[in-house]
Amino acid sequence: MSKADAFTQAGKTAVLQNIHGTLQFLQRFPPFNQMENAHLGFLVEQCQLRFYGPGESILKPSGGPVEHFYIVKQGRVVGERPDSTETTFEITTGECFPLAALLGERATRTEHKAAEDTFCLQLNKPAFIKLFALSSAFRDFALRGVSSLLDQVNQQVQQKAVETLGTQYSLNTRLGELAMRHPVTCSPLTPLREAVTQMHEQQVGSIVIVDEHKAPLGIFTLRDLRQVVADGTSDFNQAIERHMTQAPFFLTPDHSAFDAAIAMTERHIAHVCLVKDQRLCGVVSERDLFSLQRVDLVHLARTIRNAPRVENLVAIRGEIGQLVERMLAHGASSTQITHIITLLNDHTVCRVIELTLADKGDPGVPFSWLCFGSEGRREQTLYTDQDNGILFEARDAAEAAEIRGRLLPLAQQINQSLALCGFSLC
């Protein structure tokens, strides 16, 4: 064997020993000790070993969105806030970071420094995303870690908010506990004037139209009344069935306040009927859900969808932050918060697309706007970037190229408008 061959063989042996050693190291710690061998092998293949001296910065807030996942192989990492040198956390052998920032597609809010000679296994973001998709054990570990961090913040915010709100309920509260009064009802043939009089006397914002078995047929709200008055042509002696919203949305008394909040936001409604055994047993309004909030969820969603200009959407983004604080104060979990933020972000994206089409004109091509990443998973936070695509149909490559030429300027304006609204460009 020549010297060159001997060196090559020695190099291969060293690499294999290093891979084997890394595998053995990872198998001592969760979640790696619960992962399938193929997935763990992928992780090891994609990792690079990095060394950091004492006091050396590994990650900092000014570094922009996090691009790597780290596992401490040897040494110790500490966290420091930008405005303080006080240590906020310590990460030791076998532990990993920074899950919340990586999954949130944002910069870390804490500087990570090596407290001593430290070796870290570094995994780039594309490999992290692939591993996240491949391994359920790794995915569950990552999501539990983020949920735990968010829930700690939630508890602090809730405790602080109770001092100012005075009273609170949980968004997990049963709707049956919120609907404390009997619903105001009438028959389909009740004159509109009589129904409105009932609403006024009972001081309610809705009246439910029911059949002889108390099953809900429709609902009439103050919003409907404003429309009737604005039309100026209606006879108030007409039957209310001519003006009611038919087949109103309903939930059971066992559904949660969060279920009602999501339904109201998705459907742009302000009232949810409660039905048990096909009989109306209550009505919950957005005021019942958010009586203590200065910014309510349903009104905010409606304002977004009706914004006349992109500038209005930009101004609304601050209100979403206020809403999140108050939702946390009402006991919303991290999962519920990310779901709500994603819904409001979906409304914002839809409105930006509508405004752009109104400005640029219809491209004459049916297309679907696709959202990937955290928005597609319904896991968005307040700070997110764009991960979009456009789907369209074409007969051949030539037609596809021609359609792209029409759609790309439209897409670029949508991207820029979303960036103004706080969705940073990827």
Domain positions in the chain: 19-152, 175-289, 320-424
Query: Nearest Cα to 77, choosing from 63, 97, 62?
Result: 97
Residue 228 CA to residue 277 CA, distance in Å, equals 33
pLDDT at 119: 94
Summarised one tens digit per residue, pLDDT across range 288-304 is 776 544 446 777 788 88
What average pLDDT does this structure show over 88-92?
87
What average pLDDT does this structure show over 330-343?
73
pLDDT at 382: 58
Tokens 């042996």 -> residue: 13
The answer, yes or no, to whether residue 128 has pLDDT greater than 60, is yes
What average pLDDT does this structure show over 366-383?
72
Percent of the chain beyond pLDDT 90? 37
Going by pLDDT thresholds of 50, 70 and 90, the confidence category of residue 12 is very low
- Contact between 253 and 274 under an 8 Å Cβ cutoff? The reply is yes
Share the mean pLDDT of the chain: 81
Query: Nearest Cα to 337, choosing from 285, 374, 380?
Result: 380
Class for the domain spanning 175-289: alpha beta
pLDDT at 292: 40
pLDDT at 162: 45
What average pLDDT does this structure show over 68-94?
86
Going by pLDDT thresholds of 50, 70 and 90, the confidence category of residue 260 is confident
Higher pLDDT, 77 or 204: 77
Summarised one tens digit per residue, pLDDT across range 21-45 is 889 999 999 899 999 999 999 999 9
Going by pLDDT thresholds of 50, 70 and 90, the confidence category of residue 336 is confident
Going by pLDDT thresholds of 50, 70 and 90, the confidence category of residue 314 is confident
pLDDT at 380: 58
Predicted TM-score of the model (pTM): 0.45
Going by pLDDT thresholds of 50, 70 and 90, the confidence category of residue 419 is confident
Summarised one tens digit per residue, pLDDT across range 145-195 is 655 544 554 555 445 544 444 444 566 778 887 765 688 999 999 999 999
pLDDT at 411: 92
Candidates 2.60.120.260, 3.40.50.1220, 2.60.120.10, 1.10.357.10; correct CATH number of 19-152? 2.60.120.10
Enclosing H/E stretch for 324: helix 310-329
Paired sense of beta strands 245-246 and 388-392, if any: unpaired
Tokens 């030429």 -> residue: 405
The answer, yes or no, to whether residue 356 has pLDDT greater than 70, is yes
Report helix, strand and coil shares of the chain as percent, to nearest 5. Answer: 50, 20, 30
